[in-house]
Structures are given as structure tokens and as C-alpha cells.
Amino acid sequence: MSSQLIYNIGMLVTPEGNEARRGADQGRLKVLENAWIYLENGSIVACGDRNQPMTFGEKYDAGGRLVTPGLVDAHTHLIFGGWRQNELAMKIRNVPYLDILAAGGGILSTVKATHAATEEELANKAGRALDEMLSFGTTTCEAKSGYGLNKKEELKQLKVIKALNKNHPMDVVPTFMGAHALPPEFKENREGYLKLLCEEMIPAVAKQKLAKFCDVFCETGVFTAEESRRILQAGLDNGLIPKIHADEIDPIGGSQLAGEIGAISAEHLIVCPDAGIESMAQGGTIACLLPATSFYLNSTYAPARKMIEAGVPVAMASDFNPGSCPCLNLQLVMNLGCLKYRLTPEEVLTAVTLNGAAAIGMADRVGSIEAGKQGDLVIWDAPDLNYLCYRLGSNLVHAVVKKGNFYRGN
Ligand code: IZC
Ligand code: ZN
């Protein structure tokens, strides 16, 4: 048995519990000064402050620094070939995201590049992205398929996720997103692709246990709310939990559907109407907000405060993808949560730890520093949480601890 004691923690800050925190609870954290954490075999056994001294285990001096739970990135499109730097010039000329897609670019250009890559190439590339995420303090992430758009290629992406989860220290939680765009060969046959998704792809993914969630891009020119309902219902019928990209560009009913169908999370919600917030509150859906995408698309920001006031738990994630947000850094997402959503640092920390974990069904294992959870922590070059949320553009990681193993940041 291995035992470790991380001591001389200037400030330990964590949300508490095994489920998403909502309303005023989102901003309620446990704070211990002069604290320690005791780990056995990579799991947290106890933590305390100077009033409860602890002396055994292999010792690690945190040097008076801030310690939080490892960050959880609950929304990424991790597996893809190529990049889309050619779209930057169009963005600068204000060509809309959906126009690039409608012209056969955007997602569809990444689909071509992903088809052209082998499993090994995709795994190597995504593995480097995971290394970078870990260096920024992320210890658990979600990863979507969605650049295959046919059975063989979607399964290829999901197999890469499975291999990464096995071979990389990061916990990687898989989501099937075959409903990311209509493939060009089905342009005149939407029904044909919906049938393929619901009757062949989803059952195959479920049978091979390659995904835990089923996601759909509910958006103008992509999938309607009714089509999204059909796809998510087929997922449910096969044991896949629904997620939905909703209200990113146009409010076409995605957030209302999320609450109605009992989606675990709804993503983006940049232009979420009040009726959508109400429906998510009723249905117990977590709002997974992606502020770096708003920044990158030069759009507005999701009504995060309204959601918290309505009792909808707010998570925040990177949305890492080659088009609308080529960003792996959750520290930047935390800055934007404070400065653009006007959330407090306490609400922001919950959003990128426990609520992110809950959005991917991992809140019983990660997302807080408590006895029984995995030893996933970040030791920050910061004295307190305010400092972490206030500095901009640096990597403040001193060390990342994943299941008790130490990885250095800068
Ligand atoms: O590749 O553009 N929004 N899907 C929905 C994306 C962005 C990813 C992409
Ligand atoms: Zn996305």
C-alpha cells in the first residue's frame, strides 16, 4: 500500500458532495487553512487543518500554496484530424460559423481530415492534447466523436477514446455524437441519415459499450429540435444518456427539449430563452457553459446568473475543437466565467470541478477533495482562489496530482 501526505497547504478550497450544486449552494465551498490531505493508493482518505495534525505517509510539502480539486473538462471534441486555421481569415471578415459549415467547410472539413487519419495518428495527436490539458490542471475530461458521420468512422473515433482512457493518466469519458452534422452524401436524404443514426449507429455504439452519452447538435441548418428528440430517444432506448448542444447560435428549442427528455446536461446555451431555463430547472439538467467559445465566435455570453438564480446547476468547460474553440486551458475559462458571466470565483470553481463531474456522471469519484474520492488535485502557484481567477494568460499550475501521481506544471 502506498500512503502520501500533502502538507503545508496554505489554503484548501473545494465544493462538497457527490452531486451538482445549484442556486446559492453553487458558491458554497469548504475552505481549510494550513491544511493537509492524506492519500492511500491514489485515493483521498482524509483531510484536515492544523487542529487535526497528521504525520504519516510519504510527505510532500505544498509550500503554503492553494490546493483545489483537479479540474474537470466536461465538453471536448478531442479526437480530430487536421486543424482549421484557414477559417481565421473568414472569422476576421465576420463570415458566420454556420455559413462556413453550409459551404462544406467547418465541421465537414474536419470530417475529411479525420477520415484520412489512422487510429494511431488520432491517438497520438489527442494524447498530446491530453498532456497539455493535464499541464493546465485538468484531470478528467469528456470526449465526443462526431467527425466520422458514418458507422465505421464514428466507431474509429470512439475506439481511440477508449485507448486513450486506458493508456493516458487522464480519465476520458466518451460521448457518441454522430449527430454533429448531416454528411454531404445524405444532403438530399435527411431521413436516411436519421435512420442510420437511430437504427444502426447508436445500437452498435451501445452494444460495444463505446459511449456513455449521446449528444446532438440542435441548431439551424444542422438538426431540428424534433430530429434531436428522435436521436436522443434512440440513445435512451439503447442506454445512452442524453446531452444536447442547444441555443449556441439560434434558440430553436434545444434547451426546452433538454429538460423535457431529462438530459444530464445541455451545452452552450448562449441564447437560451427563459422557457429553456425553466425547462432545465424542472428536468434537473445541468447547464454546461462554454465561455471560451463565445469569446472565439465574438458572440454574446450565456445567461449564467439567471440560470443559477433559477436553480439550474452551472458547469463550465473548454469546448476544445478545431473550429469554434481551439483552446485546452480551463484557467482561461475560469477567467471568462468571472469577467463575462459575472460569477464569483467560488461559483466558478464549482463549475469546473464538481458540477463538471456531475455533467459527465463522475461526481461520485472526482470533483471534490473528500474522503473516498480519487486523489485528483491541483497545487497552484497562487495563495488563494481570487488570485487564481484574477491572473490572466499564465499557467498557474505548480503540480497536478492524478490518482496520487505527481505531474509538474510549468
Ligand atoms: O468542429 O466546429 N459547435 N460543434 C458545434 C463544433 C462547434 C465543433 C466544430
Ligand atoms: Zn461542442
pLDDT tens figures, 32-68: 999 999 999 999 999 999 888 777 788 999 999 999 9
| Residue labelled with grid coordinates 473528500 | 370
Q: Tell me: pLDDT of 410 over 60.
A: no
Q: What is the pLDDT of residues 214-241, one digit of tens each?
A: 999 999 999 999 999 999 999 999 999 9
Determine the pLDDT at residue 104: 85
Domain boundary among 359, 376, 393: 359
Considering every ligand atom, which ligand is closest to the CA of 109?
1
Determine the pLDDT at residue 65: 98
Determine the pLDDT at residue 14: 98
- Per DSSP, the three-state class of 201 is helix
Determine the pLDDT at residue 409: 60
Q: How far is the CA of 323 from the centre of ligand 1 (A)?
A: 6
Considering every ligand atom, which ligand is closest to the CA of 324?
1
For the beta carbon of residue 404, count every other beta carbon within 10 angstroms.
20
Determine the pLDDT at residue 17: 98
The percent of residues in the chain predicted with pLDDT above 90, rounded, is 96
Q: Tell me: pLDDT of 185 over 70.
A: yes
Mean pLDDT of the chain: 97
**Closest ligand 1 atom, CA of 106?**
2
Determine the pLDDT at residue 53: 76
Residue 43 sits in the same domain as residue 101? no
Mean pLDDT of 170-190: 98
Mean pLDDT of 261-268: 98
**pTM of the predicted model as reported, rounded to 2 decimal places:** 0.98
Residue 48 sits in the same domain as residue 137? no
Residue 238 sits in the same domain as residue 89? yes
> What are 120's three cell numbers?
494511431
Residue 353 sits in the same domain as residue 222? yes
**Under a CB-based contact definition with an 8 Å cutoff, are residues 37 and 67 in contact?**
yes
Residue 237: CB partners within 8 Å, gap ≥ 6? none
- Per DSSP, the three-state class of 316 is strand
Give me the count of residues in the chain.
410
Q: How far is the CA of 62 from the centre of ligand 1 (A)?
A: 39
Domain boundary among 343, 359, 375: 359
Mean pLDDT of 317-345: 98
Residue 82 sits in the same domain as residue 95? yes
- For the chain, the domain total comes to 2
Residue 248 sits in the same domain as residue 293? yes
Residue nearest atom 3 in ligand 1 by C-alpha distance: 324
Residue 59 sits in the same domain as residue 107? no
CATH code of the domain containing 151: 3.20.20.140
CATH code of the domain containing 398: 2.30.40.10
Residue 124 sits in the same domain as residue 258? yes
Residue 327 sits in the same domain as residue 205? yes
Q: How far is the CA of 37 from the centre of ligand 2 (A)?
A: 35
Q: C-alpha angle with apex 19: 253 to 230, nearest 5 degrees?
A: 30
Q: What is the pLDDT of residues 295-314, one digit of tens each?
A: 999 999 999 999 999 999 99
Residue 219 sits in the same domain as residue 287? yes
Residue nearest atom 2 in ligand 1 by C-alpha distance: 323
Ligand 1 pocket residues where CB is under 6 Å: 77, 106-107, 110, 217, 245, 321-324
Q: How far is the CA of 399 from the centre of ligand 1 (A)?
A: 31
Mean pLDDT of 124-140: 98
| Residue 249 structural domain | 72-359
Q: Tell me: pLDDT of 157 over 80.
A: yes
Considering every ligand atom, which ligand is closest to the CA of 265?
2
**Closest ligand 1 atom, CA of 107?**
1
Query: How many Cα atoms sit within 13 Å of 304 on the Cβ side?
Result: 25
Q: Tell me: pLDDT of 196 over 60.
A: yes
Residue from 86, 99, 107 whose mutation best tests the ligand 1 pocket (most atoms within 8 A of CB):
107
| DSSP 8-state class, residue 250 | S
Residue 290 sits in the same domain as residue 343? yes
Q: How far is the CA of 196 from the centre of ligand 2 (A)?
A: 22
Residue 133 sits in the same domain as residue 46? no
Q: How far is the CA of 70 from the centre of ligand 2 (A)?
A: 22
